[in-house]
Structure 1
Amino acid sequence: MPEDREDSLDERRKRLGASLKRIRTDETMEAKAEASSEESRKGFAVAMKLSSEFISAIVVGAALGWFVDWYFGWTPWGMIFFLLLGFCAGVLNVLRATGAVPTRLADTPRDKTDDSNRDGA
């Protein structure tokens, strides 16, 4: 009878081990799927940001062109010029956001020894 009980415990232990292994495998698969979907969401967010920046630059250029045409009476030329300018600004914004073109660096503070040497002393 006690051996029967030991066999029963070993059998239950084996089933529990197999069940835990299956659950851990499922959790690992879920974690990988979640990481993949997170990466996909980040890519979609970046794509939406870039497209909205590009389109808004073109719309602002077109609006400024229409206003200049209306105010000064330069019927096609204001719209053409500012629409092209908006397009170029949109492309530049997208290139800067992707890192293809570096952003403008801020003025670096000059060394104090350089200022003192300017007077010729």
Structure 2
Amino acid sequence: MASSREESLEERMQRLDAELAKRRADDDSDDAAEQKAADSRKGYAEAMKLSSEFIAAIIVGALLGYLLDHFAGTGPWGMIVLLLLGFCAGVLNVMRAAGLVASPHPVDRMAGRENGRKDGA
């Protein structure tokens, strides 16, 4: 009787191990799916941030150009120039935020000014 009881215990332990292994595999696949979804959300958030920076720069340029034309009476030229300037600023902001263009560090800017003064003096 003790032998059959030990066999029954071993059989139950094997079934339990198999079931635990199956659940661990399911948990790993769930974790991988959650990580993929988190990466996707992060990508969407970055895209929304970059697009809003770009659009905001264009809108600000157009608004300033309109106000310049309205108060100075310069016709469409203020809006055209400032709209293009806003577009360029938007592209530069997006490139800086994406890491394609590094913004100058204040120490580098100061070193450039000092070198320019020494050479010009």
Shorter-chain TM range is: 0.7 to 0.9
Residue segments in structure 1 that go unaligned for 5+ positions in a row: 111-117
* Percent of residue pairs bearing the same amino acid type: 53
Cα distance, 1:107 vs. partner?
2.6
CA distance in 2, matches of 1:82, 1:89: 10
Cα distance, 1:16 vs. partner?
0.2
- Deviation readout 1:50-97 (Å, 9 max, x if unpaired): 000000000000100110010011121011011000000000001111
- Cα RMSD (Å): 1.5
After TM superposition, which residue ranges in structure 1, 4 or more long, deviate above 3 angstroms? none
DSSP-derived class of the 1:101 partner: coil
Aligned residues: 111
DSSP-derived class of the 1:70 partner: helix
TM-score, with length taken from structure 2? 0.86
CA distance in 2, matches of 1:28, 1:92: 42
Q: Write 1 or 2 for the structure with the bigger share of helix.
A: 2
TM-score, with length taken from structure 1? 0.86
| Counterpart position of 1:4 | 4
| Counterpart position of 2:97 | 97
CA distance in 2, matches of 1:12, 1:104: 67
Q: What are the equivalent positions in structure 2 for 1:1-121 lying under 5 Å apart?
A: 1-107=1-107
